[in-house]
Amino acid sequence: MREIIKKATREAYGDTLVELGKEHKEIVVLDADLAGATKSGNFKKVFPLRFFDCGIAEGNMMSVAAGLAAAGKVPFASSFAMFASGRAFEQVRNSIGYPGLHVIIGASHAGLSVGEDGATHQCLEDFALMAAIPGMTVLSPSDYYQTVNAVKAAYEMEGPVYIRLCRMANETFHNDENETFEVGKGIVLREGRDVTLVATGLLVAETLKAADLLAEEGVSARVIEMPTIKPLDLPLLQAAAKETKGLVTVEDHFAGCGMGAMIAAALAETTPARVIKVGVQDKFGQSGSPMDLFEAYGMTAPHIKEKAMLLMAE
Amino acid sequence: MLNPNLKKQLEVISTKLRMEIMNEVHAAKCGHPGGSLSIADLMTYLYFEAMDVDPSDPKKPDRDRFVLSKGHTCPALYAALAYRGFFPTQELIQLRKLGALLQGHPDMKSIPGVDMSTGSLGQGISTAVGMALAGKMDGALWDVYTVCGDGEIQEGQVWEAAMLAGHHNLEHLCVIVDNNGLQIDGAIEEVNSPYPIDKKFEAFGFYVQVIDGHNFEEIAEAINNFKANKGCPSAIIMKTVKGKGVSFMENQASWHGVAPNTEQYEAGMAELKAHLAELEN
């Protein structure tokens, strides 16, 4: 087992870029004046000639990355999730997505957990935007070690990949050094027969706590982690829909258009199930510490437990 | 001086490309004839004289690249690619139809010879910058050409791309602006003037040339100057006539994105055929 550490997923992105860069000369890294924050700057220090700071021009950066990919490079384009998926949406769609180019977008500072910077920087719609693009793979790893594996898996894939990363340091729980990352596969973190909790990213840890709270009430909660938002691991979800009373989905994203909404929509076609979505309801974020925000927006363990109890009462 | 025989050959080819442009948009009953006709001479010079490309190996690594940033004028690109042998000329009249090889805007995934998918204005030039950066990293000698519309350069992204190209001294990048003066809503200086275009590119660190885009002597000289230029990217501001070669389409914004009906098509083709006969005599 590896040591439990408290480190942000963006740190894993920067460290892994350096590791991959040593082996693969065709890897290039781009950023838009946020190299220190996205941790792409780690790569810049080691490989300055393979690093391009495009300045504060994210749309251009995405199309430049497409051109680099078309000429045989494997670009990692880095920015905050807000600008990578939001401002540069159409460049990602048309320059990268439509030609199916192998560009990996490292999008840090996603979600409410950006914290104090407030609503303009809290991207709560990147899953919706990126998953809408045909052929785009959307990854949302939850801790440092899983992110290392996710970044490596993204490099090995074909086509465009979006990796959601977070600012906040969190404790690792994927500490088994033999663990691999399978794109498109969910992970059953805890078996359970009464209800299913499905979580992604930073809120996986909170969801495990909710499962503990439910156990205290005598409720057996299955906990599924979804490190891949697209493509969804439908068989795993269908089994949960059949075998438990319903699903509570948990994500640091708008509840109406994120992972939970995609799961509910997918299950509705084959295995109708009750799905209660924990996430940011239809309002913007605000300044505050990440944990205070999760509490204020109803996304902590007691809130998750409460939603699961609603399913139990039915 | 351009060899007179070569010049005549190029004029013959560009006239044939114009005829194919008419065939394409007439058959499709839609598309963009005006801006396609204005770049026909440039496309002729690039694909039949300037660029090192190989139709039998469209993806050869050391080829020169071309990005049609003003992707809607792909009838001109498709005609050049077909005449150069990248795909059969019969494909041209299938343009824009369901299941056809030729999409309404360039698609690099399916069309041999297309180096980048374009259509959303402002993005092509950035992808060309990315290609030139890749070439520079590898010490490669291949060139990247991209054509922007003079309306397209109202997109801020064009200048983001220009800034990065200048910053990295991308000497193998040639940005060509098709300055036909018209966009969908009218004259560019009445809609939102991008002038002075030359001064703007100069300010971003480009070597700038202003030429007549229908004069092969000037096109040849400008491309040669670009190839000889070291240490900075090039911009060629090409003064052109929208709809060039079909009298009733010339300098008419209304012919930006409308196909000729059969009567108009026949009238236009008659003019082009007459011009071709003159050249071939």
Q: Which of A60, A61, A76, A87 to mutate to test the interface with B (most CBs of B within 10 A)?
A: A60
Examine residue A178 and state whether it is found in any structural domain, yes or no.
Answer: no
pLDDT digits (tens, 9 = 90+) for B193-207: 999 999 999 999 999
In angstroms, the separation between the Cα of residue A289 and the nearest Cα of chain B is: 35
* Residue among A228, A285, A274 at smallest CA distance from A252: A285
- Span A254-279, mean pLDDT? 98
pLDDT over threshold 90, residue A229: yes
Examine residue A182 and state whether it is found in any structural domain, yes or no.
Answer: no
pLDDT over threshold 90, residue A314: no
Q: How many helices (H) and strands (E) does chain B have?
A: 10, 7
Domain co-membership, A126 together with A34: yes
- Show the tokens assigned to A16: 């892994």
Examine residue A51 and state whether it is found in any structural domain, yes or no.
Answer: yes
- CATH assignment at residue A204: 3.40.50.920
What are the backbone angles phi and psi of residue B151, rounded to the nearest 5°? -80, -40
* Known active-site residue A206: no
> CB atoms < 10 A from the CB of B204, how many?
21
ipTM: 0.96
Q: How many domains does chain B have?
A: 1
What are the backbone angles phi and psi of residue A75, rounded to the nearest 5°? -85, 140
User: Tokens 């939603």 — which residue?
Assistant: A307
pLDDT digits (tens, 9 = 90+) for B164-215: 999 999 999 999 999 999 999 999 999 999 999 999 999 999 999 999 999 9
Q: How many helices (H) and strands (E) does chain A have?
A: 13, 14
> What residues contact residue A217 under an 8 Å CB cut-off, 6+ apart?
A305, A309
Domain co-membership, A33 together with A162: yes
- Span A228-235, mean pLDDT? 98
Q: Are A55 and B163 in contact (CB under 8 A)?
A: yes
B281: pLDDT confidence band, cut at 50, 70 and 90?
confident
pLDDT digits (tens, 9 = 90+) for A257-269: 999 999 999 999 9
pLDDT over threshold 90, residue A5: yes
Query: Alpha-carbon distance A1 to A24, whole Å?
Result: 28
> What residues contact residue A182 under an 8 Å CB cut-off, 6+ apart?
A153
pLDDT at position A182 is: 98
Nearest residue of chain A to residue B140 (CA atoms) = A71
Q: Which of B60, B127, B129, B137 to mutate to test the interface with A (most CBs of A within 10 A)?
A: B127
B1: pLDDT confidence band, cut at 50, 70 and 90?
confident
pLDDT over threshold 90, residue A36: yes
The domain in which residue A157 lies consists of 6-171
CB contact under 8 A, B120 and A94: yes
Query: Alpha-carbon distance B80 to B76, whole Å?
Result: 6
pLDDT digits (tens, 9 = 90+) for B34-68: 999 999 999 999 999 999 999 999 999 999 999 99
Catalytic residue among A11, A58, A125, A225: A58
B146: pLDDT confidence band, cut at 50, 70 and 90?
very high
Which residue among A138, A171, A204 closes a domain? A171
Domain co-membership, A76 together with A217: no
Examine residue A181 and state whether it is found in any structural domain, yes or no.
Answer: no
- CATH assignment at residue B176: 3.40.50.970
Domain co-membership, A164 together with A37: yes
Domain co-membership, A154 together with A17: yes
Domain co-membership, A16 together with A162: yes
pLDDT digits (tens, 9 = 90+) for A99-157: 999 999 999 999 999 999 999 999 999 999 999 999 999 999 999 999 999 999 999 99
Domain co-membership, A113 together with A219: no
> What residues contact residue A266 under an 8 Å CB cut-off, 6+ apart?
A232, A234, A237
* Residue among B233, B264, B188 at smallest CA distance from B35: B188
Cα of B42 vs its chain's centroid, Å: 6
pLDDT at position A119 is: 97
pLDDT at position A23 is: 98
Degrees (nearest 5) of the Cα angle A292, A34, A104? 95
CB nearest B130 (choices: A50, A63, A99) = A63
- CATH assignment at residue A56: 3.40.50.970
Half-sphere exposure of residue A122, counting CA atoms within 13 Å on the CB side?
Answer: 24
Domain co-membership, A11 together with A157: yes
- Span A7-27, mean pLDDT? 98
Domain co-membership, A75 together with A164: yes
- Show the tokens assigned to A37: 């924050």
Q: How many domains does chain A have?
A: 2
Write out residues 84-103 of A within 8 Å (CB-CB) of B. Answer: 90-91, 94-95, 98-100
pLDDT digits (tens, 9 = 90+) for A53-97: 999 999 999 999 999 999 999 999 999 999 999 999 999 999 999
The domain in which residue B67 lies consists of 4-280
CB contact under 8 A, B164 and A72: no
Examine residue A39 and state whether it is found in any structural domain, yes or no.
Answer: yes
Please state the pTM of the whole predicted model.
Answer: 0.97
Nearest residue of chain B to residue A91 (CA atoms) = B123
User: Whole-number mean pLDDT of chain A?
Assistant: 97
Q: What percent of chain B has pLDDT over 70?
A: 100
- Burial grade of A169 (CB within 10 A; 0-12, 13-18, 19 or more): middle
Chain A CB within 8 Å of residue B73 CB: no
CB nearest B123 (choices: A28, A70, A95) = A95
